[in-house]
Amino acid sequence: MLVKNNTARIIGINSQGEKSVKVLPGDNPAVEITAKMAKLDFVKELIKQGQLVVVTEEESEDKPKTEKEQLIEDIEALGIEAKSSWTIKQLKEELEKALSVRRI
């Protein structure tokens, strides 16, 4: 079963006799948990509460990047640190500045 973390914290899943699994929050890839882990009351409750979301293989595949993600990637490719808290407008302005400096 593939699951994604819908909270702002790391979720650790431990099942006796199996390696523990950490499900990272945010825009991280889905994590495979075993059938034994999926049957744990703790995991069932997290799914019921919406803190863990079960995803299909198709949903877990790479999705196209958003405009913001692409701008951040472009800025960082130029060697500039981009902050995810910046708006799209700020990212575009920073990219323009970086490109104009390279043209000079």
Q: Which amino acid is at 85?
A: S
Domains of the chain, by residue range, sit at 2-60, 67-103
pLDDT tens-place string over residues 6-44: 999 999 999 999 999 999 998 888 999 999 999 999 999
Mark residue 50 as left, alpha or beta (left: phi above 0; alpha: psi -120 to 50; beta: remaining): left
pTM above 0.75, yes or no: no
pLDDT tens-place string over residues 52-94: 999 987 555 556 678 888 888 888 888 888 888 899 999 999 9
On whether the CB atoms of residues 6 and 50 are closer than 8 A, the answer is yes
CA–CA separation, 39 and 14 (whole Å): 12
